[in-house]
Amino acid sequence: MKSIIFILSLGSIIILSCSHQKKEMGNPLLSDYNTPKETIPFNLIKTEHFAPALDTAFKSGRIEIDGIVNNEEPANFENTIEALERSGKLLDNITHIIYNLNNAQTDSAIQALVKELSPRLSEYQNDITLNEKLFVRIKTVYDNVDRTDLTSEQNMLLDKTYKSFIRNGANLGEKEKKEYREITKELAGLGVQFQENLLAETNEYTLQITDSADLSGLPPDAIKAAAAEATQRDLDGWVFTLKYPSFIPFIKYADNRELRKQLYIAYNTRGLKENENDNRKIVKRIAELRIREANLLGYDTYADYILDDRMAESSKNVNEFIDRMIDAYLKPAIKELADVQEFARSIGFSYELQKWDWYYFSEKLKKEKYSVDDQLIRPYFKLENVRKGIFDLAYKLYGITFVENKDIPVYNPDVVAYEVYDHDNSYLAVLYMDFFPRDSKQQGAWKTDYIKQYKADEKEQRPHVSMVFNFTEPTENKPSLLTYEEVRTFLHEFGHALHGIFTDVTYSSLSGTSVYRDFVELPSQIMENWAEQREWLDMVAVHYETGEKIPEKLLQAIINSKNYNIANWSVAQLGYGMIDMSWHSLEEPYQGDIVEFEKNARSRTTILPPIEGTAMSTSFGHIFSGGYAAGYYGYKWAEVLKADAFSLFLENGIFDKATAEAFRKKILSKGGTEHPMKLYIDFRGKEPSIEPLLEQSGLKNKS
C-alpha cells in the first residue's frame, strides 16, 4: 500500500491508500505519457476519462494482489513484501491526479467522482489489509526472515507493512472486520463531504460595501481587488470574501469595527450554520466512528491509536509537551495582549479587545514600534522576485537549478512548471507552482505529489511535486505583491517540496514526505528561518517599480519585528492542538454543543474573550478531512526540531554548503527509511532541545 499525502500550512489534507500498474493504449490516463519527463497530459485528460481508467486500475490492482496471495512459492521478502509495494501503480497515478484536482481545480463533476471514489478506495484498501491469506504471507516473512540479509530500508518497509496490516484490522475476527469495513468506508465519505461543505461555505459568503466611507483604513490594493470582485459578480461597490487575500487585509486594516466583526464571525462560523453546508453532525460522527475504530483495534482512544505510530508515541507525551509549551508562552502572551490593549486605549479605544480587534490594533502597534507593516513591505516582495530569491537560495545551499518548461501540460493557466536539476546537471524532479486563489481551489497552501520517487527494475522514477498557494493576485496595474507572511508561507511549502525533490529511496511508500506526521514539518519550517536573515532578505527584497533594494531602515525593522506577538500566535496554535487532542481523546461519543466543547478544550489558552456561537472544528480541515487528526501538535513539535536544527546553520553560516549538504543527505533524501529521531541525531549529533526555540523566539527567561 501507498499513500497520497497533501501537506498544508493553512488548509486541508487528504490521505488515502492506493497503488498502480502497467499502462494501456487509448484513454490518456491509460496510455504512455508522450510529454516532457512523462508529465501528466492535463491538456488531454477529460473528466469522463477517469471512470473507465479507475475501473481498469482497480481490476489490475486486484489481479496483482491475487498473484501475491496465490503464489505457490514460499513467502519471502521479494515475492510478498516487495511485490505488494510494487502493486497497483496505475491506481496510484490516477488517484493522485483526481485528488489533487479536487483540491486545486475542482468542479461538480470532480466532486461527484471523489464522493464515489473515496468509499471505493476504502473498500479496496480493506480488501488488501483484511485478506487473511495475504497477511499470513506477510507474517511469515516478518517472523522468519533473516534481518541481516535485508538493507535498513528493506527492514523499514517490512516493519511498516506488517504494522500497517495490524493497524488496519488484519488481526480482527470476521464480525469485527465487517464493522471495521463499514467504519472506514463511512469515514472516507464523511471526510470528502466535510471538505466539500467547507469550500462551498467559503465561496458563498460575501460582504458587499456600497458606501466608500466603510473602506476607511483599507490599503488601496485591497480596495481595488474588492472592486474587481464586485465587477466580476455584477454587483455595485466593493465585495470582500472569506478567501485569505480578501479576508486578512480587511481584518487587519478596516476601521469599521462592526464590519470587521461581521467578517470575523462569518469566517469562524463556517460549517456551523443550519444550512446544507453544516458540518456539525459530520464532526460528531467522524469523532464517534474514530472512537469505535480505535476500540476495535485495541486502543482506548483514537489519539492512542494514532500516536502509537508517531515520534511523540503517546497522548501522555503530547499533552505534557503542550503543557510545557504553554508554560513557556502563556505569560509572554498575556503581556503582549496587555501591550496591545494599552496601545488601543491610548488612541481612544474604550472597549475590551475582541478577536476582531486584535489583528487591527496589533498591526497598528507593530507599525508604531517598528515603523513597519505589510503595506510598507509588500512593494519589495514582488512574487517573481521572491520566487527567484528562493530558487537562488536553493542554488546557494544545494547547487540545484530550476528551468521553466512551457511544454509541460498544466491543469490551469496560472500554473508554472519547472524541471529541477542537481549541481551536476542531473535531472531531479518536476515542480509545479500554482499561486492564486479561485473558486475551484481550497483555502491555504500545500505541497503534494503527482508522481512519487522510487526505484525499480534498474530504473528510477523521479518525483513530480506540486506547490499550491492562495497569494494576492496581480491587478491590471500591479504585479502580485506578497506580504511578509506570504513570503514565509512560500518558504515553508518550498521546504516540503525540497523534501520531495531530494528523496533518494527505493520504495515509493517511504519516499519524500512519507514520514511521521510530527516530523514532516521540520523540512518546511526550517526554511522559514531564512525569511528572518538579513543576507537573504537583502538578496530578495527589491522594489517592484524602482528596482531599488529594500532600505536598510526597513530591512532592520523587519528583523527587529520578527518575534512581534509570537507568544500569542504560539498560544493560539497550542489551542488548536488542544482542540484536536480533545476530540481524539474522547472515550465516548460527544452529543453536546460544539462551541462549548471547544471552549472547554482550549480554555487554558484563551486570552481574548471567547466569541459566542463561533468554533473552528466545523472548518478544521486539518483534522476532519485530512491527516492531522491527533497530530496538529506536530507543528509546534517540529518548531522545536527546526530551531535546534537551524542553530547549526547559525553557527556555521546560513549559506554554509556543508551544513546544507548534511541536512540533504541525512534528512531530506532519506524519506521514511529510518526512524526520524535517528535521522535527526545523525544530522545534529544530539537529540533536539527546546532552548534554541525559546532563544530564537526572544522568550528565553521570559516565561
DSSP notation for 392-447: HHHHHHH--EEEE-TTS--SSTT-EEEEEE-TTS-EEEEEEEE-S--TTS-SS-EE
CATH topology of domain 2-198: Neurolysin; domain 3 (1.10.1370)
Mean pLDDT of the region 510-531: 97
Residue positions annotated with a catalytic role: 493
- Report the alpha-carbon distance of residue 699 to residue 256 in Å, rounded: 34
Same CATH topology for 2-198 and 378-560?
yes
Q: How confident is the model at residue 655 (pLDDT cuts 50, 70, 90)?
A: very high
List 427's β-bridge partners, or say none: 421
Q: Mean pLDDT of all residues in the chain?
A: 94
- Report the alpha-carbon distance of residue 473 to residue 225 in Å, rounded: 8
Instruction: Pick 701 or 153 by higher pLDDT.
Output: 153
Is the pLDDT confidence value at 420 over 70? yes
| pLDDT confidence of residue 384 | 97
Residues 6+ apart with CB under 8 A from 82: 154, 157, 507
CA distances (Å), 607 to each of 432, 599, 600, 610, in order?
40, 12, 13, 8
Residue 590 zone, left/alpha/beta (φ > 0; ψ -120 to 50; rest): beta
- Report the alpha-carbon distance of residue 102 to residue 483 in Å, rounded: 27
| pLDDT confidence of residue 661 | 98
- Report the alpha-carbon distance of residue 263 to residue 257 in Å, rounded: 10
| pLDDT confidence of residue 10 | 32
- φ, ψ of residue 432 to 5 degrees: the values are -100, 140
Mean pLDDT of the region 184-202: 97
Q: In 75-232, where does DSSP find H-type helix?
A: 83-86, 89-104, 108-129, 132-144, 152-167, 174-204, 220-232
| pLDDT confidence of residue 475 | 85
- Report the alpha-carbon distance of residue 257 to residue 249 in Å, rounded: 13
Instruction: Pick 701 or 229 by higher pLDDT.
Output: 229
| pLDDT confidence of residue 183 | 98
Is the pLDDT confidence value at 187 over 50? yes
CA distances (Å), 144 to each of 74, 77, 97, 130, 147, in order?
11, 10, 39, 21, 9
Top-tier CATH class for 378-560: mainly alpha
How is the chain split into domains, by residue range?
Answer: 2-198, 205-267, 314-372+566-632, 378-560, 641-696
- Report the alpha-carbon distance of residue 481 to residue 377 in Å, rounded: 9
For cell 530558487, the residue is 391
The three cell numbers locating residue 422: 542537481
Is the pLDDT confidence value at 426 over 60? yes
Mean pLDDT of the region 603-617: 96
Nearest in space to 57 (alpha carbons), one of 80, 87, 26 = 87
Q: How confident is the model at residue 700 (pLDDT cuts 50, 70, 90)?
A: confident
- Tens of pLDDT, residue by residue over 268-311, are 999 999 999 999 999 999 999 999 999 999 999 999 999 999 99
SS3 237: coil
Nearest in space to 442 (alpha carbons), one of 229, 200, 96 = 200
Q: How confident is the model at residue 703 (pLDDT cuts 50, 70, 90)?
A: low
Mean pLDDT of the region 187-194: 97
| pLDDT confidence of residue 6 | 38
Q: How confident is the model at residue 211 (pLDDT cuts 50, 70, 90)?
A: very high
- Angle among Cα 169, 171, 176 to the nearest 5 degrees reads 60
Nearest in space to 279 (alpha carbons), one of 379, 196, 158, 205 = 196
Q: How confident is the model at residue 477 (pLDDT cuts 50, 70, 90)?
A: confident
3 state SS for 574-628: HHHHHHHHHHHCCCCCCCCCHHHHHHHHCHHHCCCCCCCCCCCHHHCHHHHCCCC
pTM: 0.93
For cell 520531495, the residue is 500
The three cell numbers locating residue 336: 503582549
- Report the alpha-carbon distance of residue 392 to residue 399 in Å, rounded: 9
Is the pLDDT confidence value at 24 over 70? no
Is the pLDDT confidence value at 699 over 60? yes
Q: How confident is the model at residue 59 (pLDDT cuts 50, 70, 90)?
A: very high
- Report the alpha-carbon distance of residue 474 to residue 471 in Å, rounded: 9
Q: How confident is the model at residue 11 (pLDDT cuts 50, 70, 90)?
A: very low
The three cell numbers locating residue 244: 485569505
Strands 427-434 and 464-468: parallel
Q: Is residue 90 a contact partner of residue 24, using CB atoms and an 8 Å limit?
A: no
Instruction: Pick 701 or 551 by higher pLDDT.
Output: 551
Strands 401-404 and 416-421: antiparallel
Is the pLDDT confidence value at 577 over 90? yes
